[in-house]
Amino acid sequence: NPREPQNFRGEELGLPQQGVGALAGTGRRVLALLLDWTMATGVASLILGGYTTSGLISTIVLAVWFGVGLVSVSLFSFTPGQFIVGIQVARIDAHARVGFVRALVRQLILLFVVPAVVTDMDGRGMHDRATGTALLRTR
């Protein structure tokens, strides 16, 4: 029994085609990640006191990025970069907060990068499918 194709991304999820609450596009998602990674790099540089040639910098950047993502998505449903570009992580299975456990699983999967690149017909990565979340526009 073949399924009818969607008219737009997110239609089967009950999301609007455009505007607030619609699925965030790839450009916004990538820009948010770049902003978060840049901020994590700045914090890591402060932690190391400017010794960014140390082999430790990449580990500290990753740890800062992971921690900020976990805490901010758990508490606010967005990272600083996502807030700047106008998107947030939202549950698609219920009108409820993302919560700590989903945020933790989402961040752990994101560590592997590839699952975020493998997307479904809605443009949701494997990390969002596994946690029942999606990145939605807030403006």
> What pLDDT sits at residue 1?
60
Mean pLDDT by 10 residues, the chain (139 residues): 80 92 93 96 88 81 96 97 98 92 95 85 90 95
> What pLDDT sits at residue 113?
82
Residues 14-18: contacts with CB under 8 Å, at least 24 apart: 14/92, 15/92, 15/134, 15/136
3-class state of residue 137 by DSSP:
strand
> What pLDDT sits at residue 27?
92
> What pLDDT sits at residue 54?
67
> What pLDDT sits at residue 118?
87
Residue whose structure tokens are 């978060």: 36
For 70, the token pair is 């976990």
> What pLDDT sits at residue 48?
87
DSSP code string of 67-94: HHHHHHHHHHSS-HHHHHHTEEEEESSS
**C-alpha to C-alpha distance for 45 and 130, rounded to whole angstroms:** 33
